[in-house]
Chain A
Amino acid sequence: MARRAVLIFAAAVLAAIGLLPLLVMFLQSVTVDGHLSLVAYKDVLTSRTQWVLLKHSLVLSSLTALLATVVGMFLGILLAKTDLPFRRFFAVLFTVPLLVPPYITAVSWSLLLGREGFLARFLSSSAAEVTSGLLFDLSGCVLVLFSTFLPVVMLLTMTFLKTINPRLEEAGKLTSGWLGVLKGITVPLILPGVLLASILVFLLTLGEFGVPAFLRYDVFPVETFTQFAAFYDFGAATAAAVPLAVITFLVLVVERIFLRKKTYEVKLASAGDGPLVIRLGRIRSRCLVFVCALCFFIVILPVLVLVLQSMSFDAYVQAITRGGDSLLGSLLYAVVGASALSVLGFLCGYLIHTKALSFWQSLDSMTIFLFALPSTLIGIGLVLLWNRPSTNFIYATPVIIIFGYIARYTVLTSRITASALTQIPPSMEEAARIAGARWFRRTALIVAPLARRGLLAGWLVGYIFCLRDTGISMMVYPPGHDTFPVRIFTLMANGSADFIAALCVIMIVAALLPLGLLVILFKSRRFV
């Protein structure tokens, strides 16, 4: 009974924080002066520009997802299944772009390829025009978002490779070489996970606002924001966002039908069955060169450009002076946000894992739907719902930012929890239940401690995503409580390049600290 009440409460909290604002938005979009009206939708559907923007969004998302899937799967197999040197080191390095706000990567590339960037110093002005033109267009957006979301495919490929029973591959090896085993056994087995990653990349790109806005490539989320910000039209903004919401919903329906049963929980192969390693032999050095080159191009080069651009003591002094308070605020919001996400994610993940309530699938879909929606849309919904005198304790304080984090990122902690719980034999909790332990006691003393690695990983992932969030924070932050990524965004207008680069470097360091902590903690025996 207690379990049921707590889980229903958790689901209700998530629905109130995530879904209710969207519902309020939708109602406002179909109402004009208190009467039902679909005029906002009519305008959207009859405008040619909207369809062009939708095409832009779909092309950008498809190209990014395709590129990230092909390269990410290849990279995941190389790093998880072969004898390539420095595999863990590369896996950590390739994850870096995912940890920083994508627009920082875009800033870095603009410092390198822009009309007056580093490269322009060595090129003719017409060549610099070409590089700048390529960056400030679809190709630039694909480059930045590909490098940002590549780790999603790479990490999920690596994770799903661990679920393969090595005996299947051993059997395949009896009649075929590694290429045949990969083609006939390994890849088909991990394909659902790779496709899930691909869908995630597609949806995340579809909802991305900052990079296309910075690189001046008109896509649908930018249009939503424009309708809201430039024309102050809530109804039009919601209507403009509806096609994206519909696409997101349809993609998730497809994912549910074809993939969900195979991917919603990841059960690792038992510890005794070590994965079979592919000996690369003669191509080992070539693979290493490829991985080094890719790593340099999409990870090290952008960071290096920022570091070189910010090579001035004054820039860092100015960055700390003008951004220090918001950095501190961001760190604290990320800590609180990650903790709230951990608690709510644990309960949701538990509900999804145990299927304790009949609506577990709906809850799972809701968390993914909220994650995939454009953050600007969630931001507008939060403003509409909580902006009233009676709820100023939420709207006028950083609580509104935490609500935004919960709405958007609960899926991360709930999925990680669900996967962590899968690794725990159900007999443990069963035994405690038979011995008379109540649910709270069983959860606190058996389930949570056994899932501690997963919970800690969930907390850190939540922390990183809260810290790097720009879209929601920018829309809802209360006066005097802007976050560090937002501060960088607002200072970017007419701020000097070295000052902005210094802010970006500080942001990267702040985002990477928990990754270092994660590596140290997971190496520590006390956490095994």
Chain B
Amino acid sequence: MSDYQPLKLYVPEPEVRPGDEPDFSGVDIPKAGSVRRPEIDASPEEFRDLAYSIIRVLDRKANAVGPWADMLSDEEAIIGLTDMLRVRAYDARMLMAQRQGKTSFYMQCLGEEAIACAFRKALSPGDMNFPTYRQQGLLTSTDYPIIDMMNQVYSNESDPLKGRQLPIMYSSKEYGFFSVSGNLATQFVQAVGWAMASAIKGDTKIAAGWIGDGSTAESDFHSSMVFASTYRAPVVLNIVNNQWAISTFQGIAKGDSATFAARGHGFGMPSLRVDGNDYLAVYAVAKWAIERARRNLGPTLIEYVTYRSGPHSTSDDPSAYRPKEESDAWPLGDPIERLKNHLIARDAWSEDRHVQTKARLESEILQAQKEAEKHGTLHSGGAPSTRDMFEGVYKEMPEHLRRQRQEAGV
């Protein structure tokens, strides 16, 4: 006779579903300024607790407080705010363009703007990002031409990628933005390899890998951690935890215990958790980890705690799986509002300047859109040639492709 009860499979569920009251009481949010700041050469053993806390700079009164504050001048913080406003305006325009049938697909970074925008500012020229599809802020906060991003989204005759890639899968070597794959997590381990090459060559450039909470479940995440820690690669490994992987809540990728940042502990990797909606905190943590990598002190794992305010993509409807009010209830607030309030509190900004800047950016985006549309949209106007479809598969076109191009009549 066995005294064992039949086993039961545990399947995690989010706290709430559509129709329920949003509930983030389970998200433990420490006070701004309360998390200490280790020296960059400190042993990861000394600050393991930072993987379970949240590094925050902006408090509820919009003051910048604690050991991670005071890193940006007024001017730099204003640029940060402008960068976030620009990418939000860009997203809004392109989302509408998709709704108008001008392209097939779009993905916003609504609510997550601080992460890519602030991280970009902490990098140096020649560093390389291996982004996911939600880091357009890495491009829009440089002087990369917005019109070229639109041309790519439209797959028009001026698309830098000649219509070969799904909208938003940008690529720019010059701007340190590796070609977005669309397959999840594959780029994370490539970032580690890029960084290893930098070390092999004796260079001083570093790499940044990007991944979402959901795709940390991929084996490529584990591979990345193994290679990065074994070879102490000069790489910053960024997990954007926006709570949702399409319709799947983050508990499916990691269960109920620990945090994504804590996954670094098994690899002896410095692991930090940061308020992803706090531009100043993101910048400070990015700067810390990038400096660490460039000083040959090895990789850092960072989890940005944020919330995906919009749908996963234009093909998604979140009202089917989460309460509509959940976004507003997100306890870390909106990154733009928070930095704006901080700059006003600091006497470096005003409501008027904010309204004017927002209007100016929206007008610039609109202007760029008009220019881009002169080169066509997905279904009308100038388009990449069918001949281009056969180019660039290999460096030199092999005989079989030459024959197929002929067969296609181009």
A and B from one assembly?
Answer: no
Which A residues are within 8 Å of any B CB, using their own CB? none
